[in-house]
Amino acid sequence: MAIVRPFKAVRPTRDKVHLVASRSYVSYTPKQLRSKLMENPFSFLHIIHPDMSATKLHQAGNLDERFQLVRSKYESFLSEEILQRDEAPSFYIYQQIKNNHAFIGIIGAVSIEDYLEGRIKIHEQTLSKREQTFVNYLDITNINAEPVLLMSDKSDQLTHLFDHYKSTRPEYDFTTTNRVRHMVWVVNDAAHTQEITAIYANMEALYVADGHHRSSSSAKLYQMRGSQPNDPSAQCLAYILQEDNVKIYPWHRVVHDLNGHTPESFLMELGSHFQIVPLSAAEEPAKGIFVMYLRKKWYQLIPLKQSDILDTQLLTDLILTPLLGINDLRKDKRIHFLEGPRGKDGLRHAVDKSKEGVGFMLHTTDVTDIKRVADGQQTMPPKSTWVEPKLRSGLVVYELGNK
């Protein structure tokens, strides 16, 4: 049984929503960030970055003071009526159309108790330092503007409800400069909010697809505050999609050197674990097979022994750690990760730029693997999944109540 509740969101006014909602601040370069801040006085980035001299929130100044500035700027957006509070508890149907693919799901408040008791299931480890920073951010700003992305079972009831609302005028309907269309419908009809709550209550579990640090930090805030189950901080802002509507890509790996190997000796070492097949051009790797780019040549690596291990773990166990000396994927600066949508061209460019490096393309980790790992209370290696959709910050804000 999963508890998902409607809530009174803080949202941009209809005439300014296209100006307020922004990509996550970490997706901007410092130059892009300053440009956005200078050119658009309504951007939610002004709340996240109240000090225009800062290029990264977590690197400059006293963090507690900076978080207090975030809260102050948020309140100024409220007083200027750029943002407004909804009067009735609501769910929010959010549809994003990107490259002709429509993502649609429910934005609501999910139970922290469900997370702590394993009904909201995870598949990644989190970093305690990063968690604590976000706990402090939530506690001081008292807002959550970036939903955790969750996956649910498929539901015909939800699909019928979405079809009903899609036949009506959305509260928001705008397209951003990256050619992504965004639509939001406010669901505050009592019968429909009860129906949505009941649908999720009949599901055994929800699965975190993206946002492990955000969900874990929300749980730590709940524990730190000693919140009661009905307190706002006993809930976490979430965007819930049916599992067949989530799009998952791999994270490819680029290592900047061969750890003392020559290309020839590296290929020889690989031969003890893989059949190495030269390719005339890059191919999409099948499950359990890697495609490698080395010195402007492509190779297919086929393991000599079959295994049920996740591809990301197999690559670490057979190549990254023993041959390339990568012992900590989170901290080693010799490796970086390339999101799957950038594909073979992005990988080739990154490896050619490093000159001495090597790149590995991986097959996509699918929903079945994610659920299998989560159900087994196990975790995947870092950067195992790149998940879409990516949500806009400030589109729907969840207030965390009194401390």
Predicted local distance difference test score (pLDDT) of residue 61: 60
Question: Residue 293's closest CA among 332, 338, 331?
Answer: 338
Provide DSSP, 122-145.
--S---HHHHHHHHHHHHHH-EE-
Question: Residue 197's closest CA among 389, 351, 1?
Answer: 1
Is 125's pLDDT higher than 60? yes
Q: What are phi and psi of 223, to 5 degrees?
A: -70, -40
Single-letter amino acid, residue 332: D
Q: What confidence tier does 354 reach under pLDDT thresholds 50, 70, 90?
A: confident
Report which secondary-structure segment, H or E, holds 199: helix 190-201
How far is residue 386's CA from residue 209's CA, in Å, rounded to a whole number?
A: 9
3.30.1760, 1.10.1060, 3.90.25, 3.30.70: CATH of 251-363: 3.30.1760
What 3-state class would DSSP assign to 215? helix
Determine which of 51-55, 75-79, 335-339 has the lowest per-residue pLDDT on average.
51-55
Mean pLDDT along residues 320-326: 97
Query: Beta partners for 120?
Result: 206
Please report, for the chain, how many H helices and E strands are present, in that order: 13, 21
Q: Where in the chain are the domains?
A: 4-246+388-399, 251-363
Single-letter amino acid, residue 392: R
Question: Residue 146's closest CA among 63, 4, 25, 54?
Answer: 25
Task: Summarize pLDDT for 80-104 with one digit per residue, the tens.
Answer: 999 999 999 999 999 999 999 999 9
DSSP state of 17: H
CATH code of the region 4-246+388-399: 3.90.1530.10
Query: Is there a contact between 391 and 147 (Cβ–Cβ < 8 Å)?
Result: yes
Task: Summarize pLDDT for 208-222 with one digit per residue, the tens.
Answer: 999 999 999 999 999
Q: What confidence tier does 57 reach under pLDDT thresholds 50, 70, 90?
A: very low
Token output for 114: 């469900």
Residue at token pair 């195992």: 384
Q: What confidence tier does 127 reach under pLDDT thresholds 50, 70, 90?
A: confident
Query: Is there a contact between 359 and 296 (Cβ–Cβ < 8 Å)?
Result: no
